[in-house]
């Protein structure tokens, strides 16, 4: 029987009404809560996600409560009355498991370590990330500053459509690699294929698909069976197309490289937006970055980046030059941004995902005609369009 219909965040297009059903979904989120978070009777668990999104459904409500976990819920902003709010709550309520999004973690870094230094976070024993790939630099900060170099990090990959976590390290059982979601959970069978639908060689990027069914999987798009078939099942027949690019290294660890639409084709070379963003964020001046392509007559696509700066740094041409050299050193000449736009904030969905398709329109000088109903703050888009902060 149908359990709920939940609309996707709209980061890549018009939001879809994803249908989940009762028994399979609830079983899957209960078991993954137990496996991934290693929950114990004495734990106080806090997932910071909004209840209205899939993470809130699966890992604030259904999963933890079905597993009998003491769950902490907070309705409010992470920076009110001040930017130490989360750390104050962790200290006060002795939170032991903390599950949040990379976009929040990058905000914490931008706000400064002094907010954290005022609080005792020793109750924490496990940290998690969810929502999009986490840059290795942010992963290391999270591990050292929030976890005190003692808390394992579960970097979880999954989607509204999957219902629950699909790939993640298991605490204490799986060595981690910063930036990798590590390996699939039992019963999950991922594959990476090329546009010809054939498996790619180890280490090469391609489309991420799931080859076998699992209990929490999507059961349809509400009111649009044709879109359900076209979106997920038509490109690689018989397998679920995730919509993400990924690669699998020689150790069997998976690395999410961004949405299929986000991979750039520069002079015939495929570049991962996440790798360029990670290179930028590894520079101390950069708090957050988003990479998109814009049409270019010579190269096919040019690399355009939008950068939010850390406290104490000012946007100028010298910094643009420095950041370009930094990307060249970290990745290579092909990945050097053609355009760098400085901005105080990036356009995000209300679930915290960067809306790169809107940035593509801005980079190309196009008017936005796609769906913007899930945009969190319209003023961010207006400022970028006006070029006030470029």
DSSP letter string, 71-111: EE---S-TTSS-TTHHHHHHHHHT--EEEE-HHHHHHHHHH
- Encode pLDDT of 247-283 as tens digits: 999 999 999 988 887 778 787 777 888 889 989 999 9
DSSP-derived pairing of the beta strands 254-259 and 264-266: unpaired
Can you give the CATH number for the domain in which 121 is found? 3.40.50.12780
Both 180 and 268 in one domain: the answer is no
DSSP letter at 369 equals: -
Average pLDDT of 4-17? 76
Cα(256)–Cα(258) distance, integer angstroms: 6
Both 108 and 217 in one domain: the answer is yes
Residue-range definition of the domain harbouring residue 304: 262-387
| 317-343 per-residue burial string, b: 16 or more CB within 10 A, e: under 16 | eebbeebbebbeeebeeebbbbebbbb
- Encode pLDDT of 22-39 as tens digits: 999 999 999 999 999 999
- The answer to which of 32-36, 231-235, 362-366 has the lowest mean pLDDT is 362-366
pLDDT band at 56 (very low <50, low <70, confident <90, very high): very high
Q: Are 168 and 59 in contact (CB under 8 A)?
A: no
Average pLDDT of 329-356? 88
Both 161 and 71 in one domain: the answer is yes
Both 314 and 218 in one domain: the answer is no
Give the other-Cβ count within 10 Å of 192's Cβ: 21
Which helix (H) or strand (E) covers residue 2, if one does? strand 2-7
Both 42 and 148 in one domain: the answer is yes
Q: Are 324 and 283 in contact (CB under 8 A)?
A: no
DSSP letter at 363 equals: H
Residue 388: per-residue pLDDT? 43
pLDDT band at 389 (very low <50, low <70, confident <90, very high): very low
Residue 161: per-residue pLDDT? 95
Both 8 and 115 in one domain: the answer is yes
pTM, 2 dp: 0.84
Number of domains in the chain: 2
44-53, 146-155, 332-341: range with highest mean pLDDT: 146-155
Q: Is the pLDDT of residue 195 over 70?
A: yes
Average pLDDT of 167-173? 94
> Across 158-285, where does the E strand assignment appear?
190-193, 205-210, 240-248, 254-259, 264-266, 269-271
Q: Is the pLDDT of residue 136 over 90?
A: no
Can you give the CATH number for the domain in which 329 is found? 3.30.300.30
């Amino acid at each position: 029987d149908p359990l709920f219909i939940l609309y996707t965040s709209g980061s890549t297009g018009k939001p879809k009404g994803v249908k989940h059903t009762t028994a399979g979904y609830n079983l899957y989120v209960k078991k993954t809560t137990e496996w991934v978070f290693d929950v114990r009777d004495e734990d106080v668990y806090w997932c910071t996600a909004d209840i209205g999104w899939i993470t809130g459904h699966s890992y604030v409500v259904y999963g933890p409560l079905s597993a009998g976990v003491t769950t902490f819920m907070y309705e409010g902003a992470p920076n009110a009355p001040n930017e130490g709010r989360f750390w104050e709550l962790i200290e006060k309520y002795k939170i032991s498991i903390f599950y949040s999004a990379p976009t929040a973690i990058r905000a914490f870094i931008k706000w400064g370590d002094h907010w954290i230094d005022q609080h005792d976070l020793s109750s924490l024993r496990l940290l998690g990330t969810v929502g999009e790939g986490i840059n290795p630099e942010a992963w290391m900060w999270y591990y050292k500053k929030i976890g005190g170099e003692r808390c394992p990090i579960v970097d979880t990959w999954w989607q509204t459509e999957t219902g629950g976590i699909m790939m993640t390290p298991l605490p204490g059982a799986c060595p981690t690699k910063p930036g990798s979601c590590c390996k699939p959970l039992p019963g999950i069978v991922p594959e990476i294929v090329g546009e010809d639908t054939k498996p790619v060689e180890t280490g090469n990027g391609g489309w991420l698909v799931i080859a076998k069914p699992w209990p929490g999987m999507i059961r349809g798009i509400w009111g649009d069976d044709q879109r359900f078939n076209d979106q997920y099942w038509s490109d690689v027949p018989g397998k679920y197309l995730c919509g993400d690019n990924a690669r699998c290294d020689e150790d069997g660890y998976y690395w999410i490289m961004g949405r299929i639409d986000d991979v750039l084709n520069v002079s015939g070379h495929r570049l991962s937006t996440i790798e360029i963003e990670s290179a930028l964020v590894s520079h101390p001046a950069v708090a957050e970055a988003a990479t998109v392509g814009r049409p270019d007559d010579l190269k096919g696509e040019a690399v355009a980046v939008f950068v939010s700066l850390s406290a104490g740094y000012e946007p100028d041409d010298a910094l643009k030059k420095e950041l370009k050299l930094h990307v060249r050193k970290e990745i290579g000449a092909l990945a050097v941004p053609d355009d760098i736009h400085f901005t105080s904030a990036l356009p995000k969905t209300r679930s915290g995902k960067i809306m790169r398709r809107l940035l593509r329109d801005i980079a190309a000088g196009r008017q936005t005609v796609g769906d913007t109903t899930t945009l969190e703050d319209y003023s961010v888009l207006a400022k970028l369009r006006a070029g006030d902060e470029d």
